[in-house]
Amino acid sequence: MTVTRLMRLLPKLTTTRPSISSSSFPLKCLFSSTSSSSPSSSDVVSSTAADAVDLGDEEEDDVPIYSNPTATSGVKPVIPTLLQPGVVVYDGVCHLCHGGVKWVIKADKYRKIKFCCLQSETAEPYLRLCGLDREDVLRRFLFVEGPGLYHQGSTAALKVLSYLPLPYSALSAFMVIPTPLREIVYDYVAKRRYDFFGKSEDCLVLQEKELLERFIDREEIMYRARPDF
């Protein structure tokens, strides 16, 4: 009788075994539904790449255009090839021009405008970008607002004013005056600026080194004058 009972129980035991394996089916469904709601691998890659681009942009704003720490130790600094927007290229030996730069630096509390002496090698990429030579900028200073966007003379001066906080930015309203009329006044003063205000033998910013942090060619200037630093 015992053997007969065992034989009868065996089919029941075998029929209960599939219920154990069937419990894994809902688990598989759970994983399946989770993966379908998660982003695909291409989405992950694209979002990661986008994050990397954003991070790169943030870091680029904090990285100065010069990174050569040995400029004052006698090693000639490397001239940068990556151009920056919002750069004023001006006659660095002109007393009138230097006075204007000092005024802008004082008024520009948000530090939107940067500067570069025309006499430095750092200015050359900006000149090439705008299709100008040094004589052009000696006549009318240059403001490189951004890629493919630059201004000279009175228009450049008014554009720079527009980047300053109030009340200075309100002066850019003089842009309504026709350009030929503005340039007549600008050119008259520019041609006689050395006679009226004088000039120096080297970039005047060397006499006020606290201003150098606003100059993209500061390491080049420091290298030229390294015995004085």
Phi (first) and psi of residue 217, to 5 degrees = -105, 25
Would you say residue 1 has pLDDT above 60? Answer: no
Q: Kindly provide the residue ranges of all beta strands, DSSP E only, lying in the chain, ordered along the sequence.
A: 87-90, 114-117, 142-146, 149-152
Mean pLDDT of the 141-152 span: 93
Which of helix, strand or coil describes residue 35? helix
C-alpha–C-alpha distance, residues 201 and 175, integer Å: 34
Q: What is the pLDDT of residues 167-200, one digit of tens each?
A: 999 999 999 999 999 999 999 999 999 999 999 9
Which of helix, strand or coil describes residue 214? helix
The DSSP bridge pattern shows strands 114-117 and 87-90 to be parallel
173, two tokens: 């309203």
Confidence of residue 7 (pLDDT cuts 50, 70, 90): low
